Amino acid sequence: MSDFFTLTVLVAVVGSGVRLATPYLLAGLGETVGQKSGVLNLGIDGVMQLSAFSAYFVVLKTDNLMLGVLAGLAVGAVMGVFYGVITIVFKATQGISGIGIFIFGLGFSDLLFQRLVGTPKPIRQLPTIEIPFLSELPVVGEALFQHNPLTYVAFILVPVTILFLGKTTFGLNIRAVGENPHAADSLGVSVERTRYVAILIGNTMAGLAGVALVLELGIFQPNLTQGLGFIAVALVYFGSWRPSHVMAGALLYGLVNATVLQLKARNIIPLSFSELAAMAPAVLTIVALVILAQRVKGPAALTKPFIRH
Amino acid sequence: MGTSNTTKVLLEMRGITKRFPGVIANEDVDFDVRNGEVHTLLGENGAGKSTLMKIVFGLYQADEGEVLLRGEPIDIRSPSEAIAARIGMVHQHFMLVPPLTVAENVALGLSSSRRPFTDLAKVSTRISEISDAHGLAVDPSTEVWRLSVGERQRVEIIKALYRDAELLVLDEPTAVLTPQEVDDLFVILRRMVDDGRGLIFISHKLHEVMALSDRITVLRDGRVAGSTTPAEATRESLARMMVGREVRLTPHKGKVTVGDARLSIRNLTVIGDRGTPAVKNLSLDVLGGEILGIAGVSGNGQREFAEAVAGLRHTEPGGTITMDGADITTSSTRVRRNLGLAYVPEERMRDGVVAEFSVSENLVLVNHGSKEFTKRGLLATGAIRRRSTEMVKQFAVKTPTIDTPIASLSGGNIQKVVMARELSASPGVLLACQPTRGVDIGSAEYIHSRLIEQRERGAATLVVSEDLDEILGLADRIAVMYEGEIVAIIDSADAKREEIGLLMAGVLET
């Protein structure tokens, strides 16, 4: 136990915690934007899997990481168009439609994988980029500034999302449409268009989360996400629809996860307990966020299709 | 702008017809507004006022007829086109986003000078200018949910003025205001009209219509029933135009000797939905043979009070509710009903009826388990049908059949069904909340006469209403509720509108 609390180990835990938090953060931020507009998307886990497979497949065939990322983003966007048609054009019930998207993503990515790849082959992973100067700082340098590009992107997107939702005209439209679409409509703001764009942003970011996951692992397998997308949806609720809180949740989740992995690797947790310990991140994160979350009400029009009357 | 504008026709609607599946909402309606005048659109619920105004605002398109704005034909296809044409609308249900600030609410939908970012500082400055110019005091940086109803109304008007509306439509703007707030609003509206704007005022409150309007057009069943001015009209003549027959506006009350207290409430405290006391240490007696009216602005604890009396909400220890000598403070609703309590709830569609059930089922709903309606565990269909047919006749419920789903009836007829059911047991104590809200004048007149009958029968009747005219017309004594307390009890013979209004606003102390 004593050798666990050395600086080297702690730095490694924080570093891998930040890395593990990345897909949760990307998916959670996207889901925040969507929910702020009043649209719940329970299907992001499925979107992540489809995007992860697309990125995997493109990198496998072309060995070009950039093309892989673009493929994952494109598939996310296409799924956004799809989800928009279901929820905005056909005004379907959002909860159940999202589950449908999840099952579709899970099954279709599996099918494509079996048909097009079959046996898992490793691909190139995202390179680690060391930020000049900052990465040389003692302790924090290694923990925070030696990551792959998508991790940096995810954390930069936190202030960007805060700014976007809080300070831009379009962000104001999104918030208004999620709270009282009729008010927005009466002022000439198109509820449908605003929600559509929010859904596109959310799904594209879910796609990016899938890409981050698969390019971090360097390999694809069926059900790669193992419910990660659902945790991300939960983070949005428990994070009271605030990007900074969603980030806190994602980080906590990543850090607990990294700690458990580290403890397991050092045989501090006996093998017989490892299954139980694997639950720790989810349990701890949810407990912490439930305690911390102020009783904030979500967007008033969340899950309610807009019908003019 | 001055008087030169007052003769110009701002908006003209000619031969407007709008059909919905199965209904004609507007038929061949002519309507116009000039600059510098208030033209009131008066009519019952469902007469077609809101439909006509939604056409003006681009929310609906007319099937026939034409709209002219400043003399030019115009086809308004969306709210943004209406706003661009300098038409503003203050909707009946506030079109505000409560978590956003006043400035954000005003800025919504406008293009910003700092694209893609918002320019709230600039918007706030302009809001303050408009506030000062029109006497619409409000702080731009406050979230709307913190504002009082009157302040929210001001925000709605500021929204329209910010967009430089020349024609302003106000759809029942006074429904949620205290009498003082109404007076303040009318001063503001008058000033706007004097600036040369044209105003369309939608209402069914006759004394307000008389006070504010320059011209009045009455709609009935989607058609224009007539046009007049306050100088030529009386409240009675307006009511006649609205309903199409003579209406008695003030119910006729005979002399009744009051008896003992049948409902006694002592030190009642009730916690509201927000977890804070909504009713505070309230004590009240309702006597047999009297109607006690509870006046107050919505949200001052009336709903929680009524629910506590009906047995739908827990009361805090220390308070008691007694009915005909029996302590019912913790009794179930069933026990209360058996003791003779009848309850006409405020939200009749939610708490008063089962929307999917038929008229007949709703009429026997409370008593369907009684010996009369249940034989050996099975519903006695024959007896139920006989009884409900009688009740429909007795209470003049307009329904195609007794098997019609209640949801397809008008508000007035649904309320008659609720009243018929609640009064069928000849209750000793009747609690009626907002008995005529959303009810047409004809049905309201009928419901009022039925309430007065209870008084003559010796029942204790408690009427909770936000409609001060209703309270003044019905009640023998008026209790004014403010912030969970009864601030005054006034004999209706001595009651003055202004005084009650001030008490409702919490301004006047007694």
Using an 8 Å Cβ cutoff, are B62 and B55 in contact?
Answer: yes
Question: Where in B184-301 does DSSP place strands (E)?
Answer: 198-203, 215-220, 223-228, 261-271, 277-287, 291-295
Q: For residue B495, how many other CB atoms are within 10 A of its CB?
A: 18
What is the rounded average pLDDT of the residues B442-447?
Answer: 87
Pick from B78, B94, B112: CB nearest A188: B78
Q: Is the CB of B117 less than 8 angstroms away from the CB of A173? A: no
Using a CB-CB cut-off of 8 Å, the residues of chain B touching A308 are: 59
Q: Please report the pLDDT score of residue A156 as a whole number.
A: 97
pLDDT of B171 over the 80 cut: yes
Q: Please report the pLDDT score of residue B249 as a whole number.
A: 75
Domain-embedded: residue A307: no
Q: Please report the pLDDT score of residue B310 as a whole number.
A: 94
Q: Please report the pLDDT score of residue A8 as a whole number.
A: 84
pLDDT of B440 over the 70 cut: yes
Percentage of residues of chain B with pLDDT beyond 90 = 63
**A187-201, B306-320, B375-389 — which is least confidently predicted?**
B375-389
Using a CB-CB cut-off of 8 Å, the residues of chain B touching A302 are: none
Q: Given pLDDT bands bounded at 50, 70 and 90, which one contains residue B509?
A: low
Q: Count how many domains chain A has.
A: 1
**A66-75, A212-221, A259-268, B387-396 — which is least confidently predicted?**
A259-268
Q: Please report the pLDDT score of residue B62 as a whole number.
A: 94
Query: How would you class B53 by CB atoms within 10 Å of its CB: exposed for 0-12, middle for 13-18, buried for 19 or more?
Result: buried
Which backbone phi and psi does B15 adopt, to 5 degrees? 55, 40
Domain-embedded: residue A217: yes
Q: For residue A150, how many other CB atoms are within 10 A of its CB?
A: 21
Q: Is the CB of A169 less than 8 angstroms away from the CB of B116? A: yes
B344: which strand partners? Answer: B432
Task: For residue A13, give every residue at least 6 positions away whose Cβ sits within 8 Å of its Cβ, in sequence order, or none.
Answer: A255, A258, A259, A262
Domain-embedded: residue A309: no
- pLDDT tens-digit series, residues A29-87: 999 999 999 999 999 999 999 999 999 999 999 999 999 999 999 999 999 999 999 99
Domain-embedded: residue A195: yes
Pick from A172, A189, A300: CB nearest B104: A172
Percentage of residues of chain B with pLDDT beyond 70 = 98
Q: Which of A35, A168, A169 best probes binding to B when mutated, by most B CB atoms within 10 angstroms? A: A169
- Distance from C-alpha of A76 to C-alpha of B98, rounded to nearest angstrom: 33
pLDDT of B207 over the 90 cut: no
- The position carrying tokens 């489809």 is A50
Question: Which own/partner contact pairs does A122-129 have at CB distance under 8 Å and 24+ positions apart?
Answer: A122/A218, A122/A219, A123/A56, A123/A59, A123/A60, A123/A63, A123/A68, A123/A215, A123/A218, A123/A219, A124/A59, A124/A63, A124/A65, A124/A218, A125/A215, A125/A216, A125/A217, A125/A218, A126/A65, A126/A150, A126/A212, A126/A215, A126/A216
Q: Given pLDDT bands bounded at 50, 70 and 90, which one contains residue B177?
A: confident
Length of chain A: 309
pTM, 2 dp: 0.80
- pLDDT tens-digit series, residues A277-294: 778 888 887 787 777 766
**A14-18, B18-22, B307-311, B480-484 — which is least confidently predicted?**
B18-22
Length of chain B: 510
Using an 8 Å Cβ cutoff, are B467 and B293 in contact?
Answer: no
Q: Which residues in B have their CB inside 8 Å of a CB on A?
A: 57, 59, 78-81, 83, 89, 91, 93-100, 104-105, 107-112, 115-118, 159
Pairing type for strands B38-43 and B198-203 reads parallel
Q: Which of B218, B279, B278, B300 is nearest to B52 (CA)?
A: B218
B485: which strand partners? Answer: B482
Task: Give the type of residue at A108.
Answer: F
- Distance from C-alpha of B272 to C-alpha of B306, rounded to nearest angstrom: 12
Give the containing element (helix H, strand E) for A129.
Answer: strand A129-130
Which backbone phi and psi does B322 adopt, to 5 degrees? -120, 135
What is the rounded average pLDDT of the residues B107-135?
Answer: 92
- Distance from C-alpha of B450 to C-alpha of B432, rounded to nearest angstrom: 12
The C-alpha of B399 sits at a distance from chain A's nearest C-alpha, in angstroms, of 25
Integer-rounded Cα Rg, in Å, for chain B is: 25
Domain-embedded: residue A171: yes
Task: Give the type of residue at A96.
Answer: I
Q: Which of A168, A187, A242, A309 best probes binding to B when mutated, by most B CB atoms within 10 angstroms? A: A187
pLDDT of B202 over the 80 cut: yes
Domain that holds residue A287: 14-125+144-295
pLDDT of A108 over the 70 cut: yes
Domain-embedded: residue A138: no
- pLDDT tens-digit series, residues B228-267: 999 999 988 998 999 888 877 777 788 888 889 999 999 9
- Distance from C-alpha of B168 to C-alpha of B165, rounded to nearest angstrom: 6
Task: Give the type of residue at A42.
Answer: L
- Distance from C-alpha of A232 to C-alpha of A32, rounded to nearest angstrom: 9
- Distance from C-alpha of B486 to C-alpha of B268, rounded to nearest angstrom: 11
Which backbone phi and psi does B109 adopt, to 5 degrees? 85, -10
Domain-embedded: residue A222: yes
Q: Can you say how many angstroms the Cα of residue B243 is from the centroid of all Cα atoms in its chain?
A: 18
Q: Which residues in A have their CB inside 8 Å of a CB on B?
A: 167-170, 172-173, 175-176, 179-180, 182-189, 300, 308
Q: Which of B292, B258, B253, B257 is nearest to B449 (CA)?
A: B253
Q: Is the CB of B96 less than 8 angstroms away from the CB of A183? A: yes
Query: Could you tell me the CATH number of the domain that includes residue A288?
Result: 1.10.3470
Domain-embedded: residue A45: yes
A175, closest residue in chain B (CA to CA): B100
Using an 8 Å Cβ cutoff, are B421 and B343 in contact?
Answer: no
pLDDT of B274 over the 70 cut: yes
DSSP-assigned letters across all residues of A188-240: T--HHHHHHHHHHHHHHHHHHHHHHHHHHHT---TT-STTHHHHHHHHHHHTT
SS (H, E, C) B398-417: CCCCCCCEHHHCCHHHHHHH
Q: Given pLDDT bands bounded at 50, 70 and 90, which one contains residue B510?
A: low
Using a CB-CB cut-off of 8 Å, the residues of chain B touching A187 are: 79-80, 83, 95, 108-110, 159
- The position carrying tokens 């069943």 is B221
B18: which strand partners? Answer: B26
- Distance from C-alpha of A47 to C-alpha of A80, rounded to nearest angstrom: 9
Give the containing element (helix H, strand E) for B129.
Answer: helix B120-134
Pick from A176, A182, A186: CB nearest B89: A186
**B505: DSSP letter:** T
- Distance from C-alpha of A208 to C-alpha of A161, rounded to nearest angstrom: 15
- Distance from C-alpha of A134 to C-alpha of A149, rounded to nearest angstrom: 15
pLDDT of A161 over the 70 cut: yes
What number of H helices and E strands is found in chain B? 16, 22
Joined together, the tokens standing for residue B59 give 């929310």
Using an 8 Å Cβ cutoff, are B181 and B189 in contact?
Answer: no
- Distance from C-alpha of B455 to C-alpha of B462, rounded to nearest angstrom: 10
**A244-258, A283-297, B11-25, B308-322 — which is least confidently predicted?**
A283-297
